[in-house]
Structure 1
Amino acid sequence: MTPVSSHSPHGRSPLRTVQVLGGGNAASGAHVRSLAAGLVARGVRVTVCAPADADHTYGFTGTGADHVHVPRSSDPGSVAALRAACTDADLVHAHGLHASFRTVLALSGRRTPLVVTWHDRTHADGPRGHFLRVLERRVVKAATVVLGTTSALVDRARRTGARDARLAAVSLPGTRTPPGPEDPDRLRPKIRAELGATGRPLLIAVGSLERRRGYTTLLDAAHAWSRLDPVPLVVVAGEGQLRGELQRRIEDEELPVRLLGRRDDVSDLLAAADLALLPGRSEARSPFAQEALHARVPLVATGAGGIPELVGDAAELVPYGNARALADAVVRLLDDPDRRELLKERGTRQAATWPTEDETVAQVLSVYDELTRPRPLA
């Protein structure tokens, strides 16, 4: 591979980039940390502009990058803080719609190249939906390059008016706590016993307890699994505003579901699971889907967003919001060990096609080099 330059467009000092994150979700936060680490290792000066709690969560400064606290969009001082942080930048890279819009405002009147990455699409209806579409148009028309994590996002950016939209290489950073020294064959029954899944199938879902994650559909589907013998146990790792509502349903309807709250041992939970479930929508490059395939755990997911493009034929795909289809897919897989083994093998092959962290950084740096390279005089 041809080395990519990390020098400034003037050739006198290392390239200085600013990464802008609005707090973000787990996928974008982990991506920015991975990107910062790779860029710093290649001699690029990196400043990450994000709320202080994001640095505490993702450890941007631990990569060698600088961190500047920039309040969330609801704070009236956020644009001014961002404008100051971007003063000497050779290039600014914003992640997510709200962070990108504030960056467009902060760079108003400057000629600094702006790269925008869309990690996912924001869903909303009514007046808020109209407002978000206005933001999208403003962002894509101001951006020098828009990177989309799925083909659908790239197409959407082009339809919205982007002058240059490209498919982004986005890897799965190593964000989970790695397994300890304990033998995995011993760890699996230990975790299953702790969860109450000894002698019964264990199904796992991971993600914040939000409406778009499809947990209402998951609970609807759990009624069908309650009639199986033995009854599968569904565990959900995540926290959020729906916890009370979901817990009440679990108790009132006596569903075989446990809400585990936030967990830092998702890799271990996956290693103990028989199936992984992804019932939500608006998943572009779902970290959990990638982890499941890497861990050789058969996945049942909705065919929404970027999931079909991500997993190919390595998962059982069902319509979003269709509890019957979700329940039936799980029952079929639990009854068909050959199908589960086939999905494990397909998952391994599919995961091998995804970009590595090194390839992701190389692609992004090549875009930076293209946008900051001095143009010949006419």
Structure 2
Amino acid sequence: MFIDNVEITLSSGNGGAGSVSFRREKHVIQGGPDGGDGGKGGDVYFKVDNNTHTLSHFRKKQHLKAQNGQPGMGRKMYGKSGESLEVIVPPGTQIIDQESGEVLYDLVHDDERVLFLEGGKGGLGNVHFKSSTNQKPNYAQPGIPGITKEVKLELKLIADVGLVGFPNVGKSTLISTVSNASPEVANYEFTTLTPKLGVVDVGDYRSFVMADIPGIIGGASDGKGLGLEFLKHIERTKFLLFMCDVSSYRSLEEQYLTLKKEVENFSSSLMKREYAIALTRCDTLDASSVNEKLSEMMELVGIDKKINQDDTVCQSFVQDLYDRDSALPYFIIPISSVAKINIQPLKYALADIVYEVKNEE
């Protein structure tokens, strides 16, 4: 089960109480106080584990608590410190204060470990309070209580390329073709109900991570469909690939402008990401018709360039990576995941762009 946000209560351990004790042994004159200190309460840590991909393991855990410190004992014996609690989360998890809504931590790196709540200190035993004027202290310190905090954990997947498109435009088919992901693929809308990640291997020790989210429809930013709930999973992506179906009953103009509008309504910063456009299911049309669709899309985004309609190969538009207009897409390419048309060029183009974007960062 994929769960991307949970609300839980976390508590660090209480410190153990100090001991009130006096040494009472035969042949030991004036033994005096010997009460030991209480143990420290356990801390609460967050740790990022790359092998964890969901927050589902918190579904039935409403309150997680570190161990309390043990009380001190006689003969100056200190209490045992409480065992710390380590909360395992997947990369991309945000820790949000439920009361204020403030993002306390944004955990993105594997093996990252942060101290969230510190356990209470143990109380001092009466051995610390003896003096020349107080040779028989009958008191010790109680332990300091731990800290309790209510937090919301929200997962935002980390990927290099995010796929954006209407339902049933071929996003799942593409990610299953180019990566190791195995999403459900079927010929009906909203086949994808949860986000999927796939690692795309392009050889030469190069790879990148692709994210597929449920299809976006008009009004997604207002809560329609599933898009709003999962758009947050492409917030961290470095690059967006808009996917428009050339065989859909929706026009390319309707698909492209609706997707741009919904993404921008959700996050203006997300819409400023570098992007490209893939025209899917080009195997359903002849090459001349696909090139007409390509010309239509180029005109729609403001590219003044002619496509040879007589060419028998599905052409594509690609900008020069070193002399490009940042307002335009990196490329527009017709593809077919089923017929493997332009799939290899798409993989290599995305790998080059991800490499360039990472270098710029």
Provide TM-score, normalisation by structure 2.
0.28
More strand by share: 2
**Which is greater in Rg?**
2
